[in-house]
Structure 1
Amino acid sequence: MRYLIFGLALIWALPAAAMGPWQDCGGEVACTLGDRSYYIRLPDDWDGQSPMPVMLHFHGWQRTGALPVNHGRISGATRRRGVLLVAPNGLRKTWDFWDSDTDDVPFASAVLADVAKRYPVDEENIFVSGYSFGSAMAWRYVCENGNDVRALLAVAGTLSQSETCSQAPGEVRHVHGLNDTVMDFPMGPGGDVTHPVALWRAAYGCGAGEARGVWQQVDFLTLSRTEWDTCATGRVSLDLHPGGHFIPHGWFARHLDELLDLPFSYP
């Protein structure tokens, strides 16, 4: 994470007394950073001292970071699992993810560095996530600056699978609805339903995937999973469901439980 490493090095060198959380923002109050801002949501049971995993989440089109920090399927998952949720605000309520020449990647990196000034961060567990346009932005972020990201958690939005990425996260976990007509399901040649993660399978040097069967967090939605876990580097997971453009109930919760080695629970 080339934009983040230098900032974190300075932050962790500060005296412990300087590491306490500031009280000028949080919850419904946005944190300012230059001429931009972001929201945070603390875990329910944080002890005020322990380093926290962080999930940097990019909101959908025409939304702001105020939505994820109050969203049951997003913050409802993070706050019960000891994860600090960080939700930047996109300019004009959108994101510039179309190519590598974007100001939103360094902005998001600056957000993470600013968060680390305010709170103790578990830098081994930095997750990057997003929904819809925000999911495409999350892909762009880790494509350009993901080497120190533990995992990408992406919902219903991708980059072109022909994109060339200079960096990559430790692993990728993506979910998409087969009947999504907003961020259309990126079907591959010959009806290949594994195409939505073709970019990362190529980047990691993955071979054939393995079907892991179906799973549910709620009884009205079934997801089917394919995993590529014998790649030269990294790991890829793809969940598919028969629905459209939405965040599946319990999806973030299930994947955070897996990543943090917690007992499966809902929500």
Structure 2
Amino acid sequence: MRLNAVPLIALLSLFAIPVAAQECGDADTPCEIPSGTYHVAMPDAVAPKGIVIHLHGGGGRGRGMLNSGLGKEAVKRGYVFVAPNGYHPGARFVNNWSVRAKGTNYENDDGVFLRDVLADVRTKTGLADAPVMLAGFSRGASMAWDVACHDPTFADAYAPVAGAFWDDLPEICAAPVNLFLTYGWNDRTVPLEGRSLRGGTVIQGDVWASLKVLRETNGCTARQPESSSFEGDLWLRHWTDCNAGDIQLMLHKGGHGAPSGWGPRMLDWFEEQTS
């Protein structure tokens, strides 16, 4: 029995190497690839369940996401948690994302960068076919919307909070997606109706208009959701008549941020979509 146990242990160790040998990614040492940098937190699990990517807001950095509620919960549940750095040295705001918006230009395409990040993470971890959730806050949420619309196969589920498309909005997206949008009723930074910036040359898009684009892409037969629900200070709307994809909207009484328990809820929903 001991003769058989040794090779088995060695074999298990080989499978554990890709996720255990983390040479970069902590708060002080981001992983570097030709198109940028990212942070990553590995779970203790020998075989991680999937990959969760969270995009920081404008002016933020990926390392700040490592201690977020979503980051901690993702690692606890056995997911690889990834926090890329949006970086545009020649732009007005350096730590930003190349969100598609009228009146803005960026030297880097973050859609390409995020694909590079995901490919590097899959290579390092061996998670070639693992499910992916892309989340984002504020400007990062808008980037998540753009990826969902123009590169829908990037992730299995999208969880933007406090952000949507910017004008000019797309007429239709490439394919249906699963998307759970969270928004503060009193958000004054990125209001539900959007707002004009720089003398009207750049405009945050209307959230309701963004949802309309997604409903039409997913083939939802009605504008209004089939059901609504309430959980204390949370108001939820559920579109269930769509030909493909899942659309959820959660409103809370707060401002520009996520309500308590947002991270675990998003992971619960993600697991429902990929189970």
Q: Do these two structures clear the TM 0.5 threshold for a shared fold by scoring above it?
A: yes
Interval containing the TM-score (normalised by the shorter chain): 0.7 to 0.9
The yes-or-no answer on 1:255 pairing with 2:272 is no
Counterpart residue type for residue 58 of structure 1 = L
Which of the residues 219, 227, 232 maps onto 1:211?
Answer: 227
The yes-or-no answer on 1:81 pairing with 2:77 is yes
Which of the residues 136, 142, 145 maps onto 2:151?
Answer: 145
Please list, as runs of the form range in 1=range in 2, the aligned pairs for 1:76-225 lying within 5 A after superposition. Answer: 76-91=72-87, 92-99=94-101, 103-121=109-127, 123-160=129-166, 162-168=169-175, 170-186=177-193, 195-208=209-222, 209-215=225-231, 222-225=233-236
Alpha-carbon distance, 1:179 to partner: 1.1
TM-score, normalising length: structure 2: 0.76
Alpha-carbon distance, 1:105 to partner: 0.3
Name the SS for the 1:67 alignment partner.
helix
Name the SS for the 1:93 alignment partner.
coil
Counterpart residue type for residue 123 of structure 1 = D
The yes-or-no answer on 1:64 pairing with 2:75 is no
Closer, same or farther: CA 196–215 of 1 in aligned 2, 3 Å: farther
Q: Is the 8 A contact 1:186 1:196 kept in 2?
A: no
Question: How many equivalent pairs are there?
Answer: 234
Q: Is the 8 A contact 1:97 1:136 kept in 2?
A: yes
- In structure 1, stretches of 5+ residues that fail to align are 1-15, 217-221, 263-267
Q: Is the 8 A contact 1:57 1:129 kept in 2?
A: yes
Could you list the per-position Cα deviations for residues 186-238 of structure 1 after superposition, in whole angstroms to 9, with x for gaps in the alignment? Answer: 37xxxx9855522211111113312331125xxxxx21111112201111000
Question: Which stretch has the larger CA shift, 148-157 or 178-187?
Answer: 178-187
Alpha-carbon distance, 1:74 to partner: 2.1
Alpha-carbon distance, 1:36 to partner: 1.6
Question: Which stretch has the larger CA shift, 175-184 or 22-31?
Answer: 22-31
User: Following the alignment from structure 2 to structure 1, what is the Cα–Cα distance between the partners of residues 98 and 209?
Assistant: 23
Alpha-carbon distance, 1:166 to partner: 4.4
Counterpart residue type for residue 193 of structure 2 = P
Q: CA RMSD in A?
A: 2.7
Q: Is the 8 A contact 1:194 1:238 kept in 2?
A: no
User: Following the alignment from structure 1 to structure 2, what is the Cα–Cα distance between the partners of residues 145 and 244?
Assistant: 29
User: Following the alignment from structure 1 to structure 2, what is the Cα–Cα distance between the partners of residues 229 and 125?
Assistant: 22
Q: Is the 8 A contact 2:172 2:214 kept in 1?
A: no
Counterpart residue type for residue 66 of structure 1 = R
Q: Is the 8 A contact 1:51 1:122 kept in 2?
A: no
Closer, same or farther: CA 134–193 of 1 in aligned 2, 3 Å: closer
